[in-house]
Amino acid sequence: MCCALIRPLAAEFRDVLKSAEIDARLSQIDQDAPLVERPNYDVRLRAVQGRPSRAPGGAEADEILHIRNGSGEVTIDGRRHRIGAGDLVHIPRTAARELDPGKGRLEYVVVRIFPAGDALPPRRSRMGPRTMPDVLSKADIDATIAGHDSNQPIHVSNGYTMNYVIYPGQPGPWEAHRGCVDVYFIQRGTARALLGGEITNPAEPSPGEIRGDGVTGAREYEIAPGDMVHIPRDGAHHMIPHGDKLAYILLKVWAE
């Protein structure tokens, strides 16, 4: 049985959801609550407590789990891993899975990617094809970010891609993407995020990728580790880091 939040929650969050708000909402659910619902993907809050959650292979969607609170074990097609806060878990839709919170409570954000993007042309990566492992631990994530000053790949598939975005203290481009939705999981550093509005002097240096030299009418936010950012297709965005490094995990969900 799924329990609604104590306060009403529309199936959409706009732009930025702060870390404290994510945890507050997670603390109020029994099992599941939506944040974003779209035909080819959704974003949900989930909690497992008291007993394992199991599902056979052949699920309706691939799942990316960002563990927020608690610890436990995940088993994916017989491969068992310990997981805890800050870890990232990748469960293909073909895989049998089990989440076991042990004697505690496991809370996480899940992005589900449906098969709608499977027929899209393959995505290109300078690093070639790449599949995310079952689990990226927080320690591995932190080490990758600490050891690099440029973007690093995680996963490349037709329907979605993932990578580390790392800004070494310099602002990012003014940009918008015509073919995909962006979801950020902020890992390190703080920044001023300008989202929405209209890009000034737009150009298209590569198909579907819009660049410019500014924006009018943007909404401004301060972002920090633990926050999530949701940027719809064609949404203008620009990041201005505070300090020496801003880093986040970027999940792109592709759609026509």
Give the mean pLDDT of 19-24: 97
pLDDT tens per residue across span 72-123: 999 999 999 999 999 999 999 999 999 999 999 999 999 999 986 556 555 5
Confidence of residue 5 (pLDDT cuts 50, 70, 90): very low
pLDDT cut 90: percent of the chain above it: 79
Instruction: Report pLDDT for 148.
Output: 97
Assess whether 150 and 244 both reside in one domain. Answer: yes
Q: Is residue 2 part of a domain?
A: no
What is the span of the domain harbouring residue 167? 135-254
Contact 63, 112 (CB under 8 A): yes
pLDDT at 2 over 50: no
pLDDT band, residue 127 (cuts 50/70/90): low
**Is 246 inside any structural domain?**
yes
Higher-confidence residue: 21 or 2?
A: 21
Domain-embedded: residue 125: no
Q: Report the number of distinct structural domains present in the chain.
A: 2
Which stretch of 31-45, 127-141, 161-175, 194-208 has the lowest confidence by average pLDDT? Answer: 127-141
Q: What is the pLDDT of residue 75?
A: 98
pLDDT of 53 higher than 70? yes
Residues 33 and 112 occupy one common structural domain: yes
Please give the pLDDT value at position 157: 86
Q: Does residue 145 share a domain with residue 239?
A: yes
Of 63, 185, 45, 46, give the one whose Cα is nearest residue 135.
63
Q: pTM of the entire structure?
A: 0.91
Is 181 a domain residue? Answer: yes
Supply the CATH number for residue 30's domain: 2.60.120.10
241 assigned to some structural domain: yes
Looking at residue 8, its pLDDT comes to: 39
Looking at every residue in the chain, the average pLDDT score rounds to 90
- Band (pLDDT 50/70/90 cuts) for residue 256 is low
pLDDT at 3: 37
Q: How far is CA 127 from the centre of its chain?
A: 21
Q: How confident is the model at residue 6 (pLDDT cuts 50, 70, 90)?
A: very low
